[in-house]
Chains A and B, each alone.
Chain A
Amino acid sequence: MRLQQILFKLSVPVIAVALGLLVGGIIMMSSGYDAFYAYSSLFSVIFTDPYYIGETVRQMSPLIMSGLAVAFAFRTGLFNIGVEGQLLVGWLASVYMGITVEGVPAFIHVPLAILAAAAAGALWGVVPGYLKARFRVHEVITTIMMNYIALHVTNSIIRNHMLAPGERTEDIQSSASLSSLFLQEITDYSRLHYGIIVAILAAVLMWYLLWKTTTGYELRAVGFNQHASNYAGINVSKNIILSMCISGGFAGVAGAMEGLGTYQYMTINAAFSGVGFDGIAVALLGANSAIGIILAAGLFGGLKIGALNMQAMAQVPPELITIVIALIIFFVASSYLVHWLRNRINKRGKI
Chain B
Amino acid sequence: MEYVIEMRDIRKEFPGIVANDNITLQVQKGEIHALLGENGAGKSTLMNVLFGLYQPEKGEIRVRGKKVEITDPNIANKLGIGMVHQHFMLVENFTVTENIVLGQEPRRRAQVDIKSAAKKVEEISRQYGLRVDPYARIEDISVGMQQRVEILKTLYRGADILIFDEPTAVLTPQEIKELIQIMKRLIAEGKSIILITHKLKEIMEVCHRCTVIRRGKGIGTVDVADTNREELASMMVGRDVSFTTKKEKGNPQQEVLEIKNLVVKDSRGIPAVKGLDLTVRFGEIIGIAGVDGNGQTELIEAITGLRNAESGEIHLNGKEITNLKPRKVTESGLGHIPQDRHKHGLVLDFSIGENMVLQTYYQEPYSKYKQIKAPEIFKKANQLIDQFDVRTPSVHTEARALSGGNQQKAIIAREVDRSPDLLIAAQPTRGLDVGAIEFIHSKLIEERDANKAILLLSFELDEIMNVSDRIAVIYEGKIIAIVNPKEVTEQDLGLLMAGSKRTGKEEN
Chain A residues with CB under 8 Å of chain B are 1, 5, 211-217, 220-221, 224-225, 227-235, 347
Contacts and interface: CB of A to CB of B under 8 A. Distances in A.
B327 to A, nearest CB: 3
A233 B359 contact: yes
B325 A233 contact: yes
A213 B371 contact: yes
Considering the complex of A and B, which 10 residue pairs feature the smallest CB-CB distances, nearest first? A233-B327, A231-B344, A232-B358, A224-B349, A233-B326, A225-B347, A227-B343, A224-B347, A214-B367, A214-B362
Contacts of B103: none
A1 B349 CA distance: 20
A227 B361 contact: no
Given A232-B358, A233-B326, A213 B343 contact: no
Interface of A is mostly: helix
Contact of B350 (A224, A230, A234): A224
Nearest to A220: B350
Contacts of A228: 343-347, 358
Interface string B348-371: 111000100011011000010011
Nearest to A4: B15
Nearest to A215: B370
Contacts of B15: 1, 5
A214 B372 contact: yes
22 contacts: A211-B372, A213-B370, A213-B371, A214-B362, A214-B370, A215-B370, A220-B350, A224-B347, A224-B348, A224-B349, A224-B350, A225-B343, A225-B346, A228-B346, A231-B304, A231-B306, A231-B326, A231-B336, A231-B344, A233-B325, A233-B326, A233-B327
A234 B55 CA distance: 39
A216 B372 contact: yes
A221 B326 contact: no
A319 B479 CA distance: 72
Given A215-B370, A231-B306, 6 more contacts: A213-B370, A214-B361, A214-B372, A221-B358, A233-B326, A234-B327
Nearest to A212: B372
Contacts of A227: 343-344
A214 B358 CA distance: 11
Nearest to A5: B15
B292 to A, nearest CB: 20
A347 B71 CA distance: 11
A229 B328 CA distance: 14
Contacts of A214: 361-362, 367, 370-372
A225 B327 CA distance: 17
Interface in B355-413: 358-359, 361-362, 367, 370-372
A216 B350 CA distance: 12
B372 A225 contact: no
B367 A232 contact: no
Contacts of A212: 371-372
A230 B362 contact: no
Interface in B26-53: none
B442 interface: no
Contacts of A211: 372
Nearest to B16: A1
B13 to A, nearest CB: 12
Contacts of A1: 15-16
A211 B361 CA distance: 13
B330 interface: yes
A230 B349 contact: no
Nearest to B358: A232
Contacts of A233: 325-328, 330-331, 359
Contacts of B295: none
A212 B372 CA distance: 5
Given A214-B361, A220-B350, A230 B370 contact: no
Contacts of B336: 231
Nearest to B341: A228
A217 B360 CA distance: 12
B144 interface: no
Contacts of B358: 221, 228, 231-232
B338 interface: yes
